[in-house]
Amino acid sequence: MKPKIAFFDFASCEGCQLQVVNLEAEMLDVIGAVDIVQFREAMTEKSDDYAIAFVEGSITREKDIPRLKKIREQAAILVALGACACIGGVNCLKNFQPLEDVRKYVYGDKADWYETFAARPIDAVVPVDYYIHGCPIHKDEFVKVTKALLLGKKPEIPTYPVCVECKRTGNVCVFELGLTCLGPITRAGCGAWCPTYRDNCAGCRGLVPDPNTNAEKEVLKKYGLTVEQAISQFRIFLGYSEVAK
């Protein structure tokens, strides 16, 4: 019997699920090895009988909690899919503003119709077994992680910084282009996606374990930047970790 997998979404743009849909040729191999029983972005049929759950999005409402806990209870393996689910993502920017103001800004005179609370990653609510980082996720990494799970192996997610992949690619350091980059302390695995196209790393894959913050400070100092400037960059994706402290 094929393993049954399901996809779920909470607060997000659903771009990570779209990356899965866009797998095209690679998806045929995945579909051949599993039964996808729930995937709102790709199919209408659904079942609550599944063993592996991929969950995209952050938790932003009280009523999200019982739904996520029910998914956790059913799934033997739960995988956080993308930056919003893994680290809170851009939704956590609202945590730095009065939530009443945020709600009125978004919904106007209908603000009272919609509940909200401080955004958080899914592991702030339930235990998570594995993480597929990024905004959006990298398609190749999704395939690699899924194949490892189907083989009963622990997926290997890089623990070194984006700078390593940037050097392997032969990129010019974006600091030399006048940008502020979080690559020295951000988890690799994207193939230095943004710096390769002359953009800075904004930290969407989260921090590496035990980040060398002193080295990052030295880099910032070398290019005339402050720690405060770097922290403001981190808030785009890592605002939850700042609030959690």
Q: How does pLDDT run across 138-191, given as a tens digit for each residue? A: 988 999 999 999 999 999 999 999 999 999 999 999 988 888 888 988 999 999
Q: What is the mean pLDDT of the chain?
A: 90
DSSP 95-158: GGS-HHHHHHHHHGGGGGGS-----B-GGGTS--SEEE-BTTB-HHHHHHHHHHHHTT------
69 vs 97, which has greater pLDDT?
A: 69
Band of pLDDT at residue 7, cut at 50, 70 and 90: very high
pLDDT exceeds 60 at position 56:
yes
pLDDT exceeds 70 at position 198:
yes
Q: How does pLDDT run across 224-236, given as a tens digit for each residue? A: 877 777 767 778 8
pLDDT exceeds 70 at position 244:
no
Is residue 216 within 8 A of residue 202, CB to CB? The reply is no
pLDDT exceeds 50 at position 245:
no
DSSP 21-70: HTTTHHHHHHHHH-EEEEETTT-S-B-S--SEEEEESBB-STTHHHHHHH
Proportion of the chain above pLDDT 90, given as a percent? 67
